[in-house]
Amino acid sequence: MSIKSLPDYKHLLQENYVEYKHTFFAIIKVSFQQDGAPPHCGSRIRRFLDAAFPNRWIGRDGPIPWPPRSPDITPLDFFLLGYVMDKVFSTPVPDITNLKARITDAFATITEDMLENT
């Protein structure tokens, strides 16, 4: 499959929106939140979101700006969770006691320099 045959971001949004708009979207007032990735910020995407979620979408150049230091896009998402999970699940976990010990050990390996670089 070539890159050109993959659906674009707008197509994915449309397909998922159409699937859900008659269910809970119709019952509750939903706001849509996305990150600031370049494919999510094009004018076609913003026009679609303006129509699908009028004054109710959060993102770059949206009617509701992405909040600075948003808890949704912290270094915890990009570094800490993945780092700890890689350490904890590098081999199968036999039991809950071992799982707890691995989590504690994984956090103990995180240095201040690692967090600073994050």
68 lies in some domain: no
In three-state secondary structure terms, 10 is: helix
pLDDT in tens, 17-35: 766 766 655 666 667 777 7
With beta carbons less than 8 A apart as the criterion, state whether 31 and 50 touch. no
- Work out the average pLDDT over 89-106: 91
* Cα–chain center distance at 56: 18
Q: Mark whether 87 and 53 lie in a shared domain.
A: no
CA distances to 45, 64, 68, 102, 113 from 36, in Å: 12, 13, 12, 34, 27
63 lies in some domain: no
Q: Mark whether 12 and 46 lie in a shared domain.
A: yes
Q: Mark whether 52 and 88 lie in a shared domain.
A: no
Domain count along the chain: 2
User: Which pLDDT belongs to residue 14?
Assistant: 79
pLDDT in tens, 99-110: 999 999 998 999
Domain residues for the domain of 22 are 3-58
Which DSSP symbol is given to 57? Answer: E
User: Which pLDDT belongs to residue 54?
Assistant: 84
Q: Mark whether 86 and 110 lie in a shared domain.
A: yes
Q: Which residue type sits at 22? A: H
